[in-house]
Amino acid sequence: MRCFVLVRRPFKTLLKMQNEEGQNMDLYIPRKCSATNRLITSKDHASVQINVGHLDESGIYTGHFTTFALCGFVRAQGDADSAIDRLWQKKKGEVRQQ
């Protein structure tokens, strides 16, 4: 006759995500739309993130860029182009672009 013994171990916290230093990391960090400041949810499959490259005086890419995120609502309204234009006009003074 065989006998099985069930040994209960303490439950390990597997739901926390930690890096090598032991700091807690979030599983999901939502983005915000650059044009409307709305949260971009994980189910917004129409959203895009665009990196606009920075150029030096001679027009050569410097390796730096500015990131803009647009939600699906802005794109569905057809305002994505004007939103990127407006956002870049504000931002290019900060990054000293022409």
Where along the chain do its domains lie? 29-91
34-77 pLDDT tens trace: 999 999 999 999 999 999 999 988 999 999 999 999 999 999 99
Sequence-ordered list of residues with C-beta below 8 angstroms from that of 68, at least 6 positions apart, any chain:
34, 49, 50, 51, 52, 84, 87, 88
Q: What topology does CATH give the domain 29-91?
A: Hypothetical Cytosolic Protein; Chain: A; (3.30.1230)
Is a pLDDT exceeding 70 seen at residue 26? yes
Distance CA 19, CA 26 (A): 10
State the pTM of this model: 0.70
Is a pLDDT exceeding 70 seen at residue 11? no
Highest mean pLDDT (candidates 5-9, 21-25, 79-83, 93-97): 79-83
